[in-house]
Each structure stands twice: as structure tokens, then as C-alpha cells.
Amino acid sequence: MADTTAPTGKAGTANRLELVLIGLGVVALLALPFFVYPIFLMKMMCFALFACAFNLLLGYTGLLSFGHAAFFGGAAYFTAHAVKVWGLSPEIGILTGVAGAALLGLVIGFFAIRRQGIYFAMITLALSQMFYFFCVQASFTGGEDGIQGVPRGTFLGVFDLHDEHTMYYFVAANFLLGLFIVWRIVNSPFGLILRSIRENENRAISLGYSVQNYKLAAFVMSAALAGLAGAIKALVFQFATLTDVAWQMSGEVILMTLLGGIGTMAGPIFGAGFVVALQNMLATSDFPVTIATGLIFMICVLIFRRGIVGEIYAWLDRQRGERPE
Amino acid sequence: MIFGIPIQAFAGQLLVGLINGSFYAMLSLGLAIIFGLLRVINFAHGAQYMLGAFIGYLVLAKLGIGYWPALILVPVIVGLFGIVVERLALSRLYEVDPLYGLLFTFGLALVLEGVFRYVYGVSGNPYPVPPALAGGVNLGFMFLPIYRGWIVVASLIVCLGAWLLVEKTKFGSYLRAATENPKLVQAFGVNVPVLLTLTYGLGAGLAGLAGIMAAPVYQVSPLMGSNMIIVVFAVVVVGGMGSILGAILTGYMLGLAEGLTKVFYPEASSIVIFVIMAIVLLIRPAGLFGKDA
């Protein structure tokens, strides 16, 4: 999707704007739970992190995965099981979820990177559906009921996460950590190679990069970070269910990223916030969420391919006359 | 007895596999035709299949139009719907990355499924088997419901017809030429945009036809399409989309493989196609009949 991505790291515009946004965002993050229902904010953060993890793959490596629900929902199951049945502490539980998601990413990625483009999308979708069927039948997932009543536990043996505000800051810390990791990956030499693969895979190969290894590494990292989001979600809501591993969830994270802006740091966060808020609004109304999701998808693809943040960048660039279009 | 399994059960599951395979074949055929020319993976294919079944169900319930006229009427309606979609939206996406076509049709599938779920709920609606095809015959080793036999025969006819249309007719030769080099074909005076529109309509119509044929076998439900499309994607990955005959053959083969698994290891029957896909990816990444890597 090289032709529509925002000019990342090119002009100073994007980066400076991002720094300001990050500053504002962190302040808002600290203050918001006193004004808004914390659970709602935590949900937003989980999905924002999920979308950022997904964007690492789509936006910066050019790979469209249609199976990221497997990592998000899979990690939720692993963490829920580790915390509830094995009685592990939340931090170890989360690590279990992340490790499980990374392993799952290694397996699915190993098969998926053998094909490109549209086939890659179909393979990831098929393999994640296979994982979904596994979750339906496996005994540890609790089938249709899922894993209920997951204890949040005590972080490092000190912070009781059953307190709503403590939990909120715990989630916020993880969220920021996850974002920092994504940002660090994207702006590392490794991230630059990923971008070169996105822009021109054959040239990257001819320059001597083992493209397959880089793709697989990016896939595993993206899966692990999606797993972090899923693991935290399991602790926040204290359950893990089939919804999180279903293909609709894979579609949702694509929508969040597309709506916010593929290949931008802030885009997926805005996209996720928008979609979660919309779902929250529609939950109380009569209008089905699927129809709204589908409509936004169609509109985005037809007239809005850069996404919200991508359009803002493009507008800023046009103002400066740097990229005449 | 075959491998300790009663022959009736064995033959029965094979028949179920063959029926599923018939639908996989018809749907992956449509996907392959559309992809060949438009370079779009039609995620809405499952939704158009569902649409076919639902239109058949609705014209019977509201207008009293039975199975046989519906067999003509439904594909035409779904095909026209496809033509409108192509004209209004897909035709604007040929210039950008093919992934956007996938995302657009995904959104379309969500909307279609959502609308029917909203209006008709998730529970299935039965569609009666047409009287002429009701009942069954005893083959000695198994009982064959006539409608199921009809599906296998009809789907073979449909697949053969589509293959002849693409390989042996003037329309087909334009279509194949435009797949190879659209600009050159345009220069020879063929109206390629119209060809693209017709092709999408044809693919959608095929999905609709599969839908109305499926209506008496499966329950007519808004979810029937999305359950199907993911399996059909796996079929397409296994077969490779380079060849129409390949798509058809792979469809039947994987349906049979699924039926066999139901006999020997029922727990794995829902995932066996995905497992086969993974194995094929290891051995022949381009797919069994694929030319493109």
C-alpha cells in the first residue's frame, strides 16, 4: 500500500506534530480517568495498541494480515488461563500471553510469508480461522462460554489491580510501553529495511537483504504486541471469549488502522478511539454495528484512503507546498 | 465395511463432501474469473452467495416464485447487483493497490450480512426441496436423496459451462486476452471497461446461482456466506488462481477430503482444508495449478 502512505520521517512537519500530539496525549492519559469511565478508556487503549501493532505490519512492512485476531484473542486466552488456572501473577500472566502470541505469530507467519499480496491476506485469514476452530474445541478455552472470572491479581505483589484507578494506570503504562516499542522498531535501521521492503521488495532482495527473514521478524513482533494488547484486555474485562479470536476482530483492527491512517504513528490510535467510541454509542441504539463498520470501510476505501491522520499530514504538506498534488 | 466403518456411513459422508465440494468449486470458479481479469479478490463472494439464497427464499415466500424460475431469476438479480457495485465503486479502485479491492468488498460483505441479520435474525430459514426432486433412491449400498444428486450433476454442468464460456467462446477469448494485456486489447477496439463490468456481474451471478442451489440443502441464514468464504479462500490458495479448471478440481477434491475426514476423525473436519492449505504452501507455494509465485 505504498502509494498512499504519509511521508514518514521526511519533512519535519510530521515528526514535530507527532511530538506535540504525544505530549498532549500523555497529559490527557493521566487526567482522563477522573472525567471519563476508566473501563471505557482502558478498552480504547487496548484496541489502540492492537491497531498500532497491526500497523507495524501493514503500514511499515506493507503486509496486510487478515488474521490478527488470532494473536489478540489467543493472548487473551493464554493470559486468562495462566492467571486463573495456574494462579500466576498478572505480570507473568501477561508475559505468558505475549510469548504465546509471538509463538503463534511465528507459525502463522512462517506459512504466510511464502506468498505475497492478496494471497498473504487470504492465508493469514484461513490460518487464524483454523486457530478459531481450535479455540472452539479445545477444553482450556471453555468453548462458547470462554474463560470467565479472571482475577486481575496484584502487580509485583504491591499494586492491587482490582482498584479501578490502579488498573487504569497499569494499563496506561503498558500502553505507552507498547507504543514506545513500536516507535523504536519503526525508527530503527531494522524499521528502515522494513520500509524498503514495503516500497520495493525486489530491490531490497537485490540489495542483499534476506527479505523473508525480515518479514517473519516483523510478523512476530507485530503478533507479540497484538498479544500484549489482548493479554491486557483479558485482565481489564476479566474474561476471554471467542469474539476476540473471530475473523470479525481481524476486520475491525484493519478498519481502525485504515480509518486513522495506514503508516502513521498516531493514525491507528485515533482510528481505534473512533471505532470504540462508535461501537459504544451504537451499543445503546438499535443500529447494528456490522452495518456501520462495513459502511465506514467502503467510504474509507473509496474516498479516504489516507485516513484521518494521513489526510491531516497531506493537508499540512500541501500548505507548505512541499508536495504539490 | 471399509476400514471398520459401515459402508452406508462412509458413502453418506463422501456424498456430503461431494456436495460441499460442488459449492466450493462453483464459488472458487467465480473468484478465479473475477480475480483473473479485475485483480480483485471478491470478499463479498460469500455475501453474494447468501444473497442468492435469500432472494430465492424471499421470492418464494412473498411472490410464490418457485425453485425453477428462481434458478434463472436469482443469478440475474445478483449479477445485476454485482454490475452496479462494479460501476459505482470497484471500477474506481483498479488504479490503486489490489488490497483496497479486497477491503472494499469486505466492507460490502459486512453491510450485506448486517442488513440481513438485522431484518431476519441469525436463525436459519428452511427452503423446501422442489417437488420434482424430492425423495430419494436406494442405490443398494446407500440412500441417495435425489436433490443431492441433482446438486452434484448441476454444479458439474455449471462448471463445465463456465469453462466452455471462458475457453471456447468469443467473449471468453476477449476475456482471456484482456487478462493478459488489457491495454493491447483496448487498442484493438474491445471495450475493456464493459468487459470488466460484465465479468464481475458474471462472477457475482455464479455466486448467486450457488446460493439458490444451496438453499434447499443448508438453512438460508445471513451467516451462511461468511462461513463459506473463508474456506473458499483456502481452496483458492491451494488451487492457485491461474487456472479455471484448477479452481474447479481443487474445489471438488477438498470437499471430498473434508468428507473423508468426517468419517475417520470428525474433530478435524472443520480444519482439514486449512491443514491441506498449509501443507501445499510448504511443498508448492504457488498452489497446485498456479503459475504465479
A298 to B108: CB separation less than 8 angstroms, yes or no: yes
* Rounded-to-integer distance, Cα A218 and Cα A53, Å: 10
* Rounded-to-integer distance, Cα A227 and Cα A71, Å: 5
Q: Which amino acid is at B51?
A: L
In this predicted structure, the answer to whether residue A284 has a pLDDT above a threshold of 70 is: yes
CB atoms within 10 A of CB B194: 9
Percent of chain A scored above 90 by pLDDT?
57
Intra-chain end-to-end CA distance of chain B, in Å: 43
Q: Which amino acid is at B71?
A: L
- Nearest CB to A291: which of B98, B111, B234? B111
| Angle separating helix axes A69-84 and A90-112, nearest 10 degrees | 150
Q: What is residue A276's three-state secondary structure?
A: helix
Percent of chain A scored above 70 by pLDDT?
94
Percent of chain B scored above 90 by pLDDT?
42
pLDDT for position A10: 45
- Looking at the complex, report in whole angstroms how far the Cα of residue B142 sits from the nearest Cα belonging to chain A: 31
Nearest one of A267, A310, A323 to A51, comparing CA atoms = A267
Reported confidence tier of residue B121, pLDDT bands at 50, 70, 90: confident
In this predicted structure, the answer to whether residue B188 has a pLDDT above a threshold of 50 is: yes
- Looking at the complex, report in whole angstroms how far the Cα of residue B97 sits from the nearest Cα belonging to chain A: 6
Q: Which has the minimum average pLDDT: A3-7, A216-220, B172-176, B254-258?
A: A3-7
The number of angstroms, rounded, from the C-alpha of B64 to the middle of its chain's C-alpha atoms is 26
Strands (E) in chain B, as ranges, are: 136-138, 143-145
Cell numbers at residue A13, please? Answer: 512537519
* Rounded-to-integer distance, Cα B224 and Cα B209, Å: 14
pLDDT for position B128: 87
Which tops the pLDDT comparison, B101 or A325? B101
In this predicted structure, the answer to whether residue A161 has a pLDDT above a threshold of 90 is: no
pLDDT for position B181: 85
A247 to B92: CB separation less than 8 angstroms, yes or no: no
Q: pTM higher than 0.80, yes or no?
A: yes
- Kindly state the average pLDDT of the residues B91-120: 91
pLDDT for position B293: 41
Could you report the predicted ipTM of this complex, rounded to two decimals?
Answer: 0.87
Nearest one of B20, B61, B32, B47 to B202, comparing CA atoms = B32
- Give the tens place of pLDDT for each residue, A201-221: 999 999 999 999 999 999 999
In this predicted structure, the answer to whether residue A158 has a pLDDT above a threshold of 80 is: no
Write out the residues of chain A at the interface with chain B, using a CB-CB cutoff of 8 A: 1-4, 64, 111, 114-115, 117-119, 121-123, 125-127, 129-130, 133-134, 137, 247, 251, 254, 258, 288-291, 293-298, 300-302, 305
Q: What is residue B121's three-state secondary structure?
A: coil
Q: From A294, which residue of chain B is nearest by alpha-carbon distance?
A: B107
pLDDT for position B3: 67
Residues in chain B within 8 Å Cβ distance of A301: 93, 100, 103-104, 107
CA-CA-CA-CA torsion for B56, B57, B60, B61, nearest 10 degrees?
-150
Residues in chain A within 8 Å Cβ distance of B237: 115, 119, 122-123, 126
Cell numbers at residue B278, please? Answer: 498449509
CB atoms within 10 A of CB B187: 10
B96 to A293: CB separation less than 8 angstroms, yes or no: no
Q: How far is CA A79 from CA A70, A85, A157, B168, B215, in A?
A: 14, 10, 17, 58, 42
Residues in chain A within 8 Å Cβ distance of B277: 123, 126-127
Reported confidence tier of residue B46, pLDDT bands at 50, 70, 90: very high
Q: What is residue B255's three-state secondary structure?
A: helix
Cell numbers at residue A22, please? Answer: 504525544
pLDDT for position A7: 43
Beta-bridged to residue A147, according to DSSP, are A240
- Give the tens place of pLDDT for each residue, B217-256: 888 999 899 889 989 998 988 887 777 888 889 999 999 9
B97 to A119: CB separation less than 8 angstroms, yes or no: no
Q: Which residues touch A11 (CB under 8 Å, ≥6 apart)? A: A317, A320, A322
CA-CA-CA-CA torsion for B283, B288, B290, B291, nearest 10 degrees?
60
Q: What is residue B95's three-state secondary structure?
A: coil
* Rounded-to-integer distance, Cα B48 and Cα B205, Å: 8
pLDDT for position A67: 93
Nearest one of A209, A193, A234, A206 to A72, comparing CA atoms = A234
In this predicted structure, the answer to whether residue A65 has a pLDDT above a threshold of 80 is: yes
B41 to A122: CB separation less than 8 angstroms, yes or no: yes
Cell numbers at residue A195, please? Answer: 520500509
- Looking at the complex, report in whole angstroms how far the Cα of residue A160 sits from the nearest Cα belonging to chain B: 41
Q: Which amino acid is at A248?
A: Q
In this predicted structure, the answer to whether residue B279 has a pLDDT above a threshold of 60 is: yes
Would you give the DSSP letter of residue B61?
I
- Give the tens place of pLDDT for each residue, B133-157: 888 888 777 788 889 889 999 999 9
- Nearest CB to A130: which of B96, B110, B274? B274
* Rounded-to-integer distance, Cα B20 and Cα B234, Å: 14
Nearest one of A322, A253, A317 to A46, comparing CA atoms = A253
* Rounded-to-integer distance, Cα A238 and Cα A151, Å: 6
Contact (CB, 8 A) for A152 and A88: no
- Nearest CB to A302: which of B89, B281, B285? B89
B271 to A114: CB separation less than 8 angstroms, yes or no: no
* Rounded-to-integer distance, Cα B87 and Cα B197, Å: 7
Nearest one of A181, A150, A182 to A167, comparing CA atoms = A150
Intra-chain end-to-end CA distance of chain A, in Å: 18
pLDDT for position A11: 45
A1 to B97: CB separation less than 8 angstroms, yes or no: yes
Residues in chain A within 8 Å Cβ distance of B233: 122, 125-126
Would you give the DSSP letter of residue A210?
-
- Looking at the complex, report in whole angstroms how far the Cα of residue B279 sits from the nearest Cα belonging to chain A: 9
Which tops the pLDDT comparison, B203 or A141? B203
Q: Which fold has domain B7-283?
A: ABC transporter involved in vitamin B12 uptake, BtuC (1.10.3470)
